[in-house]
Structure 1
């Protein structure tokens, strides 16, 4: 499969807006800035940097009504001489909080790749959170398929977040990525139009920053990974270290 027709999974997994640090602008508006350094940039289990480190930054404008809008960016490297070295995501949505334990996040994301616009796409999403559990769905109607035409995709996940003893944060996620068209081929010629991925992450706040360590994996074989992404090592199990700061 030609690399120029790969589907590039893009970056905004989710933005849980409640409880994060923010800078008040007035009675109705606040802005939040997020900075992250990570040993790898993985989206839905797939490396976007050829397993190399990533520097990421985002800014979100928040309104007291629950409306928000912002932008997020990261370096990327898809190999094969592709010119883009950056992903830029633009997003807007509405965050509704029933109480301290239940919330709903609805929004839209536009993923952009400078100099490689054929990979640009958009998604709408919904994230329901209740008592530490999360259920989410991301739908796209304009993701490029193997011949460069738009196709439908649906990413869903369930997750759980809690705080362990010693103030150690724990996040668990199990997701499924579905494509309208088959994208993954095995050595025996069989094809698949979906895969599963999962992550377990622990975090700890120290020196006014958040330190994280994640275990990430997918159920894609080496052959399936190579058939769509061109490499065997961008879909397999890995440990990702990160340090982040929000203000």
Structure 2
């Protein structure tokens, strides 16, 4: 899970990332006249985030929407059920994102955003904020980095780096693969972080629907942090509809 079960942290004042969300939000409001609305809904056998399950291996129902302006500014909201340790009383996650993303030339696209992880009605404060950036080449190759001074809900820094690629087989089927490492301060965990990888087969059928089968794997540092029942190897199947 995103926040280790044994850690309780104090509430904190608004971060610079939160202030950045406000500034970008003002810009998006000014761009609203040319805004586009999109969204998605997903049924998955397991909600896996950065290699670890967020639902103890149980299914999840997820949905989100995104408002995008002509300038590239956008705002999105996304939600899922979660299942953390009983003492957290966490049952849902809401993610709020404000950012800018646009193609910079024929080959390259860029996205920079601020993401807020929110867990309503929890017994302890699990909420935190992350700054993310992604560079995409020809729509099929990407590298991303995320940084937070309150990583995984701690008062400590963490930096997440990922590289991935899509390999189209035909118009309906593609393969996706990625590798990542999460660098974490020793105030968060005893190790310097952990690595994980995933491999997906994606079948797009009947318009907006996609069926995805993903194999996830983490290293031994992840299982040392989260436990064998949360990290390690697992298979996830998901059906998604986009609009």
Establish whether residue 62 from structure 1 lines up as the match of residue 77 from structure 2. no
TM-score, normalisation: structure 2 = 0.82
Q: Deviations over 1:199-231 (max 9, x none)?
A: 11111112331000001110026xx63x543x4
Unmatched tracts of structure 1, length 5 or more: 8-25, 185-190
Q: How many residues align?
A: 215
- Distance, in Å, in 2 between the alignment partners of 1:98 and 1:166 is 25
Displacement after TM superposition at 1:58 (Å): 0.5
Unmatched tracts of structure 2, length 5 or more: 10-31
The change in CA–CA distance for 1:6 and 1:244 in structure 2 (over 3 A counts) is: farther
Displacement after TM superposition at 1:144 (Å): 5.3
Number of the residue aligned with 1:236: 232
**Which aligned pairs between 1:113-132 and structure 2 lie closer than 5 A?**
113-116=119-122, 117-131=124-138, 132=140
| Contact residue 29 and residue 63 of structure 1 kept, 8 A | yes
Establish whether residue 192 from structure 1 lines up as the match of residue 210 from structure 2. no
Q: Deviations over 1:127-161 (max 9, x none)?
A: 0001321110000012357xxx5000000001111
Establish whether residue 164 from structure 1 lines up as the match of residue 169 from structure 2. yes
Establish whether residue 40 from structure 1 lines up as the match of residue 46 from structure 2. yes
The change in CA–CA distance for 1:245 and 1:144 in structure 2 (over 3 A counts) is: closer
Number of the residue aligned with 2:215: 215
Decide which structure has greater strand share.
Answer: 1
The change in CA–CA distance for 1:162 and 1:6 in structure 2 (over 3 A counts) is: farther
Number of the residue aligned with 1:177: 182
| Contact residue 44 and residue 60 of structure 2 kept, 8 A | yes
Number of the residue aligned with 1:5: 7
Establish whether residue 107 from structure 1 lines up as the match of residue 109 from structure 2. no
TM-score, normalisation: structure 1 = 0.80
| Contact residue 158 and residue 174 of structure 1 kept, 8 A | yes
Q: Name the SS of the counterpart of 2:149 in structure 1.
A: strand
Number of the residue aligned with 2:242: 246
Decide which structure has greater helix share.
Answer: 2
Displacement after TM superposition at 1:119 (Å): 1.3
- Distance, in Å, in 1 between the alignment partners of 2:143 and 2:179 is 10
- Distance, in Å, in 2 between the alignment partners of 1:56 and 1:123 is 20
The change in CA–CA distance for 1:144 and 1:219 in structure 2 (over 3 A counts) is: closer
- Distance, in Å, in 2 between the alignment partners of 1:173 and 1:6 is 31
| Contact residue 6 and residue 144 of structure 1 kept, 8 A | no
| Contact residue 40 and residue 240 of structure 2 kept, 8 A | yes
Superposition misfits of 4+ residues, deviation over 2 angstroms: 79-82, 98-101
